[in-house]
Amino acid sequence: MKKMEKIVAIVLAAGFLLAPCTTVWASNRQMSPVHLRRLQAQRSTLPLGWRYEAGYTLWRMNRNLPANQVTYMRYRNDRAWHYNMRQNHRGEELLLNTIDWTVEEIASFMHRYQELLRFHPAGIE
């Protein structure tokens, strides 16, 4: 029994000693090129000529904002948000377009047949 306790104690001691080393080993591992590219793409590096981009300039002028890195990042976020709204709510857009078309058709019908749709109370000739 003494021998078994000694082995367990050695294994536990080795585990406690090696546990801090595993975090150091894990942080020193080489990153794959794909992972490095993704990290670089996520960083807030601005493209060349970002100040003169037509969409950014128009967006900035409509909001009366200066041309700086913060407003460019806001522009990119706003552009992405509008793109996602168009993609994620396509059904609503089609439904609203159909309703608009129906309203236009009813308005055209009412305008064309205005004489026939007048209210004529009974008893008036």
Whether the CB-CB separation of 67 and 51 falls below 8 Å is answered with yes
Detail the DSSP E strand segments found in the chain. Answer: none
Helix axes 69-88, 90-112, angle to 10 degrees: 70
Q: How far apart are CA 75 and CA 69, in angstroms?
A: 10
pLDDT of res. 65: 92
In the chain, % of residues over pLDDT 70: 66
Report the SS3 class of residue 47: coil
The 10s digit of each residue's pLDDT in 46-101 is: 777 888 889 999 999 999 999 988 898 899 999 998 888 777 776 666 666 667 67
In the chain, % of residues over pLDDT 90: 13
Q: How far apart are CA 40 and CA 31, in angstroms?
A: 12
CA torsion sign, 110 to 112 to 117 to 120?
positive
Helix axes 69-88, 54-63, angle to 10 degrees: 100
Whether the CB-CB separation of 58 and 43 falls below 8 Å is answered with no
CB contact set of 78 (below 8 Å; sequence gap of 6+) = 59
Helix (H) or strand (E) holding 53: none
Q: The whole model's pTM is what?
A: 0.40
